[in-house]
């Protein structure tokens, strides 16, 4: 049975009084992977920042587990919402182990999710490759078994094989109950593991559908890649 976790109704958000996301409606169910797609500058990151509590929406309603979602990032973390920024959210001067210890869950659970991190435990975060940093951020976050994980541009600068591995873990986390909202400019790999997706264009919702529907739509893919169509 469908179990709605997050409902966004008519949300607008932006910077210095100028809305760059306008009247957005979306829902996320428990255990779903939802992709938020669109070209550069469409408002994907802004949407995620508003849901994470980094930005305050200028209007609209956001409900999480049947109550209004308010408060800053750390308060939302206590309500089971985890946010991974485009920069990866890894502390570059701390070792992999220290980064994992700062997380909300046991280090062993993080390592069980990504055994690749084990030989890197003594290495500083800043010396890890891009893919390793993303693994570290995901491992740390998922070990806390969040109810909702917000991930920005997971694939940025990574080889497709690593992206596949990360997406596989996200899909498994969703199947175990974590809802995932994933912002992505390059749609096809993410849609392959997504239940549903939304496409933003110039701050507004342009299309939505199941992962399979969006994957099969050349127009949607073209607009997500190139900002045209």
Residues in touch with ligand ATP (CB under 6 A): 15, 20, 38, 40-46, 185
Which CB sits closer to ligand ATP, 103 or 197?
A: 197
Q: Using an 8 Å Cβ cutoff, are 46 and 14 in contact?
A: yes
**CB of 69 vs ligand ATP, minimal distance in Å:** 19
3-state SS assignment for residue 192: coil
Collect contacts of 156-163 with beta carbons under 8 A, ≥24 apart: 156/86, 156/130, 157/130, 158/130, 158/131, 158/134, 159/131, 160/189, 162/131, 162/134, 163/189
User: Rounded distance, CA 69 to CA 116, Å?
Assistant: 35
Q: Using an 8 Å Cβ cutoff, are 123 and 100 in contact?
A: no
**CB of 100 vs ligand ATP, minimal distance in Å:** 27
Which CB sits closer to ligand ATP, 15 or 101?
A: 15
**CB of 18 vs ligand ATP, minimal distance in Å:** 7
Which CB sits closer to ligand ATP, 30 or 222?
A: 222
Which CB sits closer to ligand ATP, 31 or 41?
A: 41
Tokens at 134, concatenated:
């993303």
Which CB sits closer to ligand ATP, 47 or 96?
A: 47
Q: Using an 8 Å Cβ cutoff, are 10 and 23 in contact?
A: yes
**CB of 14 vs ligand ATP, minimal distance in Å:** 7
User: Rounded distance, CA 123 to CA 168, Å?
Assistant: 25
Give kind and range of the element (H or E) at residue 216. none
User: How far is Cα of residue 84 from the mean position of the Cα atoms in its chain?
Assistant: 7
**CB of 192 vs ligand ATP, minimal distance in Å:** 20
Which CB sits closer to ligand ATP, 20 or 94?
A: 20
Place of tokens 């485009």: 86
User: Rounded distance, CA 200 to CA 219, Å?
Assistant: 13
**CB of 177 vs ligand ATP, minimal distance in Å:** 27
């Amino acid at each position: 049975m469908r179990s709605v976790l997050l409902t966004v109704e008519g949300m607008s958000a932006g910077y210095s009084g100028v809305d760059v996301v306008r009247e957005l409606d979306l829902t996320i169910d428990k255990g779903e992977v939802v992709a938020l797609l669109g070209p550069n500058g469409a408002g994907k990151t802004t949407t995620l920042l508003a849901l994470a509590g980094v930005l305050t929406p200028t209007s609209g309603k956001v409900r999480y587990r049947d109550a209004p979602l308010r408060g800053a990032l750390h308060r939302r973390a206590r309500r089971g919402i985890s946010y991974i920024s485009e920069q990866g959210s890894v502390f570059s001067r701390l070792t992999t182990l220290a980064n994992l210890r700062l997380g909300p869950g046991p280090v062993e659970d993080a390592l069980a999710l990504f055994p690749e991190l084990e030989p890197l435990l003594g290495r500083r975060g800043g010396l890890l490759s891009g893919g390793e940093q993303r693994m570290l951020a995901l491992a740390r976050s998922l070990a806390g078994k969040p109810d909702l994980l917000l991930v920005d541009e997971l694939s940025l600068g990574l080889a497709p094989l690593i992206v596949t591995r990360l997406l596989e873990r996200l899909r498994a986390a969703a199947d175990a109950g974590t809802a995932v909202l994933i912002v992505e400019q390059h749609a096809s790999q993410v849609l392959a593991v997504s239940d549903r997706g939304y496409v933003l264009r110039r701050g507004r919702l342009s299309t939505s559908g199941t992962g399979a529907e969006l994957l099969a739509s050349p127009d949607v893919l073209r607009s997500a890649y190139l900002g045209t169509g």
